[in-house]
Amino acid sequence: MRAVLLFLSLFLILQDRSQADEPLPAMPGPTVLTVTGHIGVANAQNAAMLDLTFLQNLPAVTIKTSTPWTTGLSVFVGVRLRDLLTRLDAKTVKYVEAKAIDDYTAQIPLADIRAYDVIIAYRLDGKALDQMSRGPLWIIYPYTDHDDLQQEIYYNRGVWQLDRLIVN
């Protein structure tokens, strides 16, 4: 499984090499995510300031999972962290630091990004996330699909009210 995912990710990375140099489009909407660190494309001083439309235009992935913060199964829709890093031409990624509006910080290792469809969710149960519902962005792991992920360390990486990513 891991091997397949790894292969898939390499394939995606190689496939997206063609558009790696492609500059970021104009971001008319308000910035919801600021990505800094080792990225290949940027639209500000060493930073990619992304609006919701840009994220929504990347391939959308749906994860159906239960979490410690919700009751029952919830449906999250978002963009794969892997896809976003590829689009931003992130090189030599070791880990990604995810920061929330209230400065809560978690480190997401490359192994997680490769092995699982870790997403930056922008939609929960059909409704857009907002600041009052732990939005506008929320990092979600496919907890229910993988028993291994039902652990404290992975729950701690499920950063809500995400607004910054630092690629290391």
Partner 1 sequence: MPFRPALSPVLRIIKPFLVSLVALLAIAVAWLSLHVTQDLLSLRRTPHSDMIGAGTQLESQFHRFMSSLSLAQSGRGTEADVDRQWIGMQGWTPMLTAGTLYDTFRGDPLFHDLSMRITSGLQGIQQPATAAGSWVAAASTILDRATALAPAFHDLSIYSIQKANEIEQTQQLRILRDAHLMSAVIIVLFIVLGATAMMTHLQSRRLRLAGHAIDLARLQAERASRAKSDFVAHMSHEFRTPLNAIIGFSETIQAEIFGPVGNPRYREYCGDVVTAGRHLHGLIDAILDLSRIESGETEISPAEIEPVALARVCLDLVRSQASKKEIELVLNVAPDLPTFTADPRHLRQILLNLLSNSVKFTAQRGRVELNIQIDRAAPSDDRQIIFQVKDTGIGIAPEDIDRVQRPFGRVARSMDQAQDGTGLGLSISRSLAEANGAEFHLSSVKDVGTTATILFPLFPAERPISQPLEAVA
Do residues 78 and 70 make contact, with C-beta atoms less than 8 angstroms apart? no
Q: Which of 67, 56, 156 lies closest to 112, judged by CA?
A: 156
Residue closer to partner 1, measured from CB, 25 or 68: 68
CA distance 104 to 100: 5
91-107: b or e for each residue (b if 16 or more CB lie within 10 Å)? eebebbbbbbeeeeebe
Interface with partner 1, residue 101, by CB under 8 A = yes
To the nearest whole angstrom, how small is the minimum distance from the Cβ of residue 100 to partner 1?
A: 7
Residues 130-159 that bind partner 1 (CB under 8 A): 131-134, 147, 150-152, 155
Judged by CB under 8 A, the number of residues near partner 1 is 21
Q: Which one-letter DSSP state was computed for residue 144?
A: T
Q: Annotate each residue in 52-91 with x if it binds partner 1 (CB under 8 A) or - if it does not, as one string.
A: ---------------xxxxx--------------------
Interface with partner 1, residue 15, by CB under 8 A = no
Q: Binding residue for partner 1 (CB under 8 A) from 100, 113, 120, 167?
A: 100
To the nearest whole angstrom, how small is the minimum distance from the Cβ of residue 131 to partner 1?
A: 5
Q: Is 56 exposed, middle or buried (0-12, 13-18, 19+ CB in 10 A)?
A: middle
CA distance 31 to 94: 25
Residue closer to partner 1, measured from CB, 22 or 148: 148
Residues 102-131 that bind partner 1 (CB under 8 A): 102-104, 131
Residue closer to partner 1, measured from CB, 48 or 124: 124
CA distance 140 to 31: 20
Q: Which of 167, 157, 69 lies closest to 119, judged by CA?
A: 157
Interacting residues toward partner 1 by CB under 8 A: 67-71, 100-104, 131-134, 147, 150-152, 155, 160-161
